[in-house]
Amino acid sequence: MDWMAWTLPTAAFFGVIALLLITFSILAVKFPETPRTGILRIETTRGDRLFITLLGSAFINLAWLALVGAHQPYALILCLIYAAAVFRWV
């Protein structure tokens, strides 16, 4: 694994993604869900909303880096607000 620069933030990022996937897999088995229609007018499940959240968070972080630069913890706060909105209304 010397070819990749594993820093603490990189390892934490991949660890959180893995933990989310495991958690959502357990939830899908334990509490099956029927798709629901939200503000986008498409049927979404928990997994779909997680994907939308992760994709949107990536764009939020990229835009934050382009416009503001450093201070990524503030972008994380914005991503958490975005995630709450997606899981509530999408």
Q: Rg of the chain over CA atoms, in angstroms?
A: 15
Domains in the chain: how many in total?
2
Residue 18 and residue 59 in one domain: no
8 pLDDT tier (thresholds 50, 70, 90):
confident
pLDDT digits (tens, 9 = 90+) for 12-63: 888 999 999 999 999 999 999 889 999 989 999 999 999 999 999 999 999 9
d(CA 20, CA 36): 21
Residue 39 and residue 73 in one domain: yes
On whether the CB atoms of residues 38 and 89 are closer than 8 A, the answer is: yes
2 pLDDT tier (thresholds 50, 70, 90):
low
Residue 24 and residue 39 in one domain: no
Residue 42 and residue 59 in one domain: yes
Q: Which domain holds residue 2?
A: 1-32
